C-alpha cells in the first residue's frame, strides 16, 4: 500500500479541487511513493500524534485540519507548528490533510453531524456553481447504448438523486474520409451519410478526464465529434453546510440536551430562543458564521455550528436560533468517517483513530 493509493481514494470522496482558495489540504509532507505501514487518523496534528504514530509503527498521519495552514517563512523548532513538522520529518511520518474539500461534499463532515442527530431530507445549504459540465457527442445509432453505459460507468449522468441521466436526439451526420483514414463506415474519398444520435450527459468538472477517456474507448469512430461546455447551475452535492429535518419536532431545551449528550458538549452558546419548536435544522461543522443568512433564507429553525462571534448572535434577530457547539466538538466524528471509508476500501490496511485529545479548548465547569 503506497501513500498515493490512499490519497487517490480519499480524493475520489472529496476531490482536492473542491478545497477553498485559502486552504492547504493535500500531502503536506512525504512522498506519494512511500510504502505505508499504517495510518493514524486525527482532527489536528500535534507532537503527541506524531509520537503515537511512531509507537504504533504508522508512517502516515491523515488529519482534517492542515498542520501548515499559512506560509511558513521560518522553521523554528521552538514554535509549535514548526516543531511538529520537524518531528514528522525526522521520524519520516507523511502528513496529509483533507479539509474544506471534505467540508464541501454532501457525504462529508456535515453528513456525519446530520446522521448523529437524525436529520432527513438533506440538501446542501449553499450549493457551489461552476462545477458542472455537459458532454455532447455524436454516435452511430447502433452504438448508442454501449457509449451511454461507458459514460455512466465513468460517473457521468448524475443529477441529484438520479443516475444514468442523458438525452439523445436522432439526426444524420456526414463525413468524407481522407486517404490515410480508417473509417468505421463509408469509403475513402466518398461523402458518407450516417444515421447518428446526438448524446448529451452532464458530469462534475473533476470527472472530465475519466468521462472523455471512456467516450474515446467505447466510441467506434476514429475521429469523434464532441463538445464540452460549462453548465451554469448549482451542483446538488457540493457546497457549504447542510439543511435537513428532524423526524419529529423538538422543544429547544430537548434539542440542546440531545446535542450535548451526542457530542459530549459541556456548553452550547446560543442566541435568544424563538419560542418555536425545532424541526428544520441547518448545520455546518467548524466555523460557519458565513452561512447565517443562508440558514435564515432556508427557513431553518436553528443553525448549529461553531466559532460564532459576539456580534454574530445579533443576526438571529428572532428569526432563527444560532447555536455554537464548539469547533472540535462539531467535527470530532470526521475521524470516524475517514476510518470507516478507509477500512471499507482497504480492509487489510492498518488504520487507527488517534487516542490523543487534540482539542485545544478547555472548559472550567
DSSP-assigned letters across all residues of 129-166:
-S-EEEEEEEEEGGGHHHHHHHHHHTT-S-BTTB-S--
Each as own residue / partner, the long-range contacts of residues 298-302 (CB below 8 Å, 24 or more positions apart, any chain) are: 298/125, 298/243, 300/243, 301/274, 301/276, 301/277, 302/252, 302/255, 302/278
**pLDDT at res. 229:** 96
Measured CA to CA, the distance from residue 106 to residue 121 in angstroms comes to 12
How many C-alpha atoms does 102 have within 13 Å on its Cβ side?
Answer: 30
**pLDDT at res. 78:** 80
Contacts of 14 (CB under 8 A, 6+ apart): 98, 101, 102, 104, 105, 108
Angle between the 3-13 and 334-345 helix axes, to the nearest 10 degrees?
120
**pLDDT at res. 359:** 95
Give the global pTM.
0.91
**pLDDT at res. 34:** 95
**pLDDT at res. 1:** 87
Q: Which of 198, 136, 201, 144 is nearest to 171 (CA)?
A: 198
- Phi, psi for 86 (deg, rounded to 5): -60, -40
Q: Which of 3, 30, 27 is nearest to 16 (CA)?
A: 27
Contacts of 292 (CB under 8 A, 6+ apart): 303, 312, 315, 316, 320, 322
Contacts of 127 (CB under 8 A, 6+ apart): 234, 235, 236, 238, 239
Query: In the structure grid, which three cell numbers stand for residue 57, read together?
Result: 509503527
Residues 66, 358 contacting (CB under 8 angstroms) = no
Give the Cβ contact number of residue 15 at 10 Å: 18
**pLDDT at res. 74:** 86
How many C-alpha atoms does 13 have within 13 Å on its Cβ side?
Answer: 21
**pLDDT at res. 277:** 98
Give the residues of the chain that fall short of pLDDT 70.
none
**pLDDT at res. 70:** 86
**pLDDT at res. 97:** 98
274 Cα distance to chain centroid:
33
Residues 226, 137 contacting (CB under 8 angstroms) = yes
Q: State in Å, rounded, how far the first CA of the chain is from the last one.
A: 46
**pLDDT at res. 365:** 84
Amino acid at each position: 500500500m503506497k501513500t498515493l493509493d490512499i490519497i487517490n481514494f480519499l480524493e475520489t470522496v472529496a476531490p482536492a479541487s473542491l478545497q477553498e482558495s485559502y486552504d492547504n489540504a493535500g500531502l503536506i509532507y512525504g512522498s506519494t511513493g512511500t510504502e505505508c505501514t499504517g495510518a493514524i487518523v486525527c482532527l489536528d496534528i500535534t507532537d503527541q500524534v506524531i509520537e503515537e504514530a511512531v509507537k504504533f509503527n504508522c508512517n502516515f498521519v491523515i488529519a482534517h485540519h492542515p498542520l501548515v495552514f499559512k506560509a511558513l517563512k521560518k522553521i523554528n523548532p521552538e514554535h509549535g507548528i514548526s516543531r511538529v513538522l520537524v518531528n514528522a520529518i525526522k521520524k519520516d511520518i507523511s502528513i496529509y490533510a483533507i479539509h474544506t474539500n471534505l467540508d464541501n461534499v454532501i457525504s462529508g463532515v456535515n453528513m456525519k453531524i446530520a446522521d448523529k442527530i437524525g436529520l432527513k431530507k438533506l440538501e446542501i445549504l449553499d450549493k457551489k456553481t461552476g462545477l458542472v459540465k455537459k458532454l455532447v457527442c455524436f454516435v452511430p445509432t447502433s452504438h448508442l447504448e454501449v457509449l451511454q453505459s461507458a459514460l455512466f460507468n465513468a460517473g457521468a449522468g448524475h443529477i441529484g438523486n438520479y443516475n444514468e441521466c442523458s438525452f439523445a436526439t436522432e439526426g444524420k451526420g456526414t463525413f468524407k474520409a481522407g486517404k490515410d483514414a480508417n473509417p468505421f463506415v463509408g469509403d475513402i474519398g466518398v461523402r458518407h451519410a450516417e444515421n447518428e444520435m446526438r448524446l448529451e450527459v452532464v458530469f462534475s468538472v473533476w470527472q472530465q478526464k475519466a468521462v472523455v477517456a471512456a467516450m474515446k474507448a467505447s466510441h467506434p469512430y476514429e475521429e469523434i465529434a464532441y463538445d464540452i461546455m460549462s453548465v451554469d447551475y448549482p451542483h446538488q452535492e457540493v457546497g457549504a453546510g447542510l439543511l435537513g429535518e428532524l423526524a419529529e419536532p423538538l422543544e429547544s431545551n430537548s434539542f440542546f440536551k440531545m446535542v450535548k449528550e451526542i457530542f459530549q458538549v459541556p456548553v452550547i452558546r446560543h442566541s435568544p430562543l424563538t419560542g418555536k419548536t425545532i424541526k428544520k435544522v441547518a448545520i455546518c461543522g467548524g466555523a460557519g458564521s458565513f452561512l447565517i443568512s443562508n440558514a435564515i433564507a432556508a427557513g431553518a429553525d436553528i443553525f448549529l455550528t461553531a466559532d460564532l462571534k459576539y456580534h454574530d448572535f445579533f443576526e438571529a434577530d428572532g428569526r432563527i436560533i444560532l447555536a455554537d457547539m464548539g469547533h472540535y466538538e462539531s467535527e470530532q466524528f470526521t475521524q470516524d468517517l475517514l476510518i470507516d471509508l478507509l477500512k471499507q476500501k482497504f480492509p487489510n490496511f492498518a488504520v487507527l483513530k488517534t487516542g490523543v485529545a487534540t482539542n485545544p479548548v478547555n472548559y472550567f465547569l
